[in-house]
Structure formats: structure tokens, C-alpha cells
């Protein structure tokens, strides 16, 4: 897991070289057909990448994005009025039957189907009209790292080309360098705090919520910590009742309009006795963990999860676990 997380910068550079042309062509086609709705189809870490796509597409393009429950198609065979709309599947393996069957059904219903997948020749890629490789390379660790980061960069590329956003495209070209800077951040204080932890809340908002979701999953699968992710806007609607003295919270507060509220939430939770780990850029004086910054703030979540992955791998080992082989889990999950 540690080695593969460190390879993320190289994987993103490979994606720029080998996948960007295809994503640019797809972006131009989407600009031409101008879908009014997008569906996402994914599970696990890939679904967290789909969440990032949803926020980014809605923020920058104004296109509503909905996560599709696959059982609507695979178990209920419900007819969906999706002709002319966009459906995006994200997957590392491209093999899970429910993803493949759902995208086949959406294609048959007239949707413009896209697979962002690490294995271009997979059944999922063949089921879609368009397929773009993530270029993460083989991932041996059960816990996805570089494939998640390349999923985020792929959807950012897709949105940038769709919008013809020169600034975001330039920031993506420089992303490998920024990921290397993120990998150099010292998050050892989090290991000291979380080594004895049994539970944790992970908080984010906006584009950063996708990172909170992914971090909570990695805490569970690699560190055996019961972790839940919440939006900073939702934590007071019930979850706060769980917080008592010493309760650990990891709060991601990258740049953006959500940051001020998240920094204020960290201060409030400290006042309630929680053990807060606030991850924020260097200019936020109250931070506990430093976040690297990208050339476009939309890419800051990729740097945040890069720093987190390295910490999580070391935390797992500090807790006497093997982050590469989480118990009860396998690399490819097949559901219907």
C-alpha cells in the first residue's frame, strides 16, 4: 500500500501522456451534445471518486449529477428515461457484474456511457461507448490508493476538457509535482493520536467530502478503526451526540468556500473535548496536519488523500496490522 501510494505521481503523469487525448475528445463530444443530467455508477473507493466528479461537474458545469443505485437496474429492471444523458462508471477492475450489467442497460436505453477504468480491456470498458484508462498500473494491495487518485485526476480531466478550462488543465499537467510535495508532508502526529483509537469521525465538505469518505473507508479496512464520514454541514444534525471527551475527529479543510466553516467546526469540537486533527494548508494557524496545495484548488483533495494514504499505511503497521491484506477482503468484489 505504501509503495503504491507513493507511485501515484508517476501514475498521474502516465495518465496525462496516455489518456488525456481520449478524455479531450470525450470532453468535446460532451460539450457538443450538452447532456442535462449525469448518472454515476460505482462502488467503494470508486464511488468516492464519483462523488468528487459530482461536486466538480455541478460546480463548474451546472449539470446535475446523481449516484445510481445499481439494484434499480439489476434487481428491479426498472425502466430509466436516460436517452441522451451521460452515465459514468468508475472502477479499478471493471469486472463486477452489477457495474457491467447496469452500464449495458443504460447504453441500451440511449445514455452516453463512459467507463473510467484501470483495465481498458475489461468487461466494463467493453459495455460502454467510451472508455478511458486510469493508467494506475497493477495494484497488488487490496486497499486502493493510486487507482483512487488517478480516478480523481481522470474525472477532473474530463470536466476540464468538457468546460475547456485552460487553468484546470494546466494545473493537472503540474499535478505530479504537487503530489510529490503532498507525499513529503509529515503526518506522524496523527499516528501518535490514532494508534490506540477504536473509532473516529472524518469530516469534509464540498469537493473535500470525497476525501473524507475515502479516508473513513481506509481507516476501517486497513486500521480496523470504526470510522464514519460526515459532511461538515451535517455533523450537528445528530452525529455530534456521539462526541465525548477525547473522541477523535479528522477534519479535512482544504481551500475553498467551505474552509472557514470547517476550521470553525474544529475549534468548536475542541471546546467540547474532542481530540481534533485539523488538516489544512499552511496558512491556517490552527491546523494539526499540513495540506499541500495544487495549482487549482479543485485539485487540493487529491493532495490531501495522498498525504493521508501514507499516514494510514504507517498507522496500520503501528497497530500491528498488514495494510496490504485487510481481513475478510479481496481485491475484486463481485456483486449483483
The residues carrying an active-site annotation are 331
Could you tell me which of 229, 211, 233, 208 has the C-alpha nearest to residue 220?
A: 229
Question: Dihedrals φ, ψ of 319, to 5°?
Answer: -90, 10
What is the spatial distance between Cα 115 and Cα 91, in angstroms, rounded to a whole number? 8
Cell of 284: 491556517
Check if the beta carbon of residue 309 is closer than 8 Å to that of residue 5.
Answer: yes
Check if the beta carbon of residue 171 is closer than 8 Å to that of residue 186.
Answer: no
Which SS3 state, helix, strand or coil, does residue 131 take?
strand
What is the spatial distance between Cα 27 and Cα 74, in angstroms, rounded to a whole number? 29
Which SS3 state, helix, strand or coil, does residue 114 take?
strand
Check if the beta carbon of residue 76 is closer than 8 Å to that of residue 105.
Answer: no
What is the spatial distance between Cα 311 and Cα 189, in angstroms, rounded to a whole number? 9
Which SS3 state, helix, strand or coil, does residue 282 take?
coil
What is the spatial distance between Cα 153 and Cα 16, in angstroms, rounded to a whole number? 9
What is the spatial distance between Cα 159 and Cα 175, in angstroms, rounded to a whole number? 16
Check if the beta carbon of residue 202 is closer than 8 Å to that of residue 219.
Answer: yes
Q: What angle do CA 125, 208, 57 make, to 5 degrees?
A: 50
Reading phi first (left if > 0) and then psi (alpha if -120 to 50, else beta), residue 141 is in beta
Amino acid at each position: 500500500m505504501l509503495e503504491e501510494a507513493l507511485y501515484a505521481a508517476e501514475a498521474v503523469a502516465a495518465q496525462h501522456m496516455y489518456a488525456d487525448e481520449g478524455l479531450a475528445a470525450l470532453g468535446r463530444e460532451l460539450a457538443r451534445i450538452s447532456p442535462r443530467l449525469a448518472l454515476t455508477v460505482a462502488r467503494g473507493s470508486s464511488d468516492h471518486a464519483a462523488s468528487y466528479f459530482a461536486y466538480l461537474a455541478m460546480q463548474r458545469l451546472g449539470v446535475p449529477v446523481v449516484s445510481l443505485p445499481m439494484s434499480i437496474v439489476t434487481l428491479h429492471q426498472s425502466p430509466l428515461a436516460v436517452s441522451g444523458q451521460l452515465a459514468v462508471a468508475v472502477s479499478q477492475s471493471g469486472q463486477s457484474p452489477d457495474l457491467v450489467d447496469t452500464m449495458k442497460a443504460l447504453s441500451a436505453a440511449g445514455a452516453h456511457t463512459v467507463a473510467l477504468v484501470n483495465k481498458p480491456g475489461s468487461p466494463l470498458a467493453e459495455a460502454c461507448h467510451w472508455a478511458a484508462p486510469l493508467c494506475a498500473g497493477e495494484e497488488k494491495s487490496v486497499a486502493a490508493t493510486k487507482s483512487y487518485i488517478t480516478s480523481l485526476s481522470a474525472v477532473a480531466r474530463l470536466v476540464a476538457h468538457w468546460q475547456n478550462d485552460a487553468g484546470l488543465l494546466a494545473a493537472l499537467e503540474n499535478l505530479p509535482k504537487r503530489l510529490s510535495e503532498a507525499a513529503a508532508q509529515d503526518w506522524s502526529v496523527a499516528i501518535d493520536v490514532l494508534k490506540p483509537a477504536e473509532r473516529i469521525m472524518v469530516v469534509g465538505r464540498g469537493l473535500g467530502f470525497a476525501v473524507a469518505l475515502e479516508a473513513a473507508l481506509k481507516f476501517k479496512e486497513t486500521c480496523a478503526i470504526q470510522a464514519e464520514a460526515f459532511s461538515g454541514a451535517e455533523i450537528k444534525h445528530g452525529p455530534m451526540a456521539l462526541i465525548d471527551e477525547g473522541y477523535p475527529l479528522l477534519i479535512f479543510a482544504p481551500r475553498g468556500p467551505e474552509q472557514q466553516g470547517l476550521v470553525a467546526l474544529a475549534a468548536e469540537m475542541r471546546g467540547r473535548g474532542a481530540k481534533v486533527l485539523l488538516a489544512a494548508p499552511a496558512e491556517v494557524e490552527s491546523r494539526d496536519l499540513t495540506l499541500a496545495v495544487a495549482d487549482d484548488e479543485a485539485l487540493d483533495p487529491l493532495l490531501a488523500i495522498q498525504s493521508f494514504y501514507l499516514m494510514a499505511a504507517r498507522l496500520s503497521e503501528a497497530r500491528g496490522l498488514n495494510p496490504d491484506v485487510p481481513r475478510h477482503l479481496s481485491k475484486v468484489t463481485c456483486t449483483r
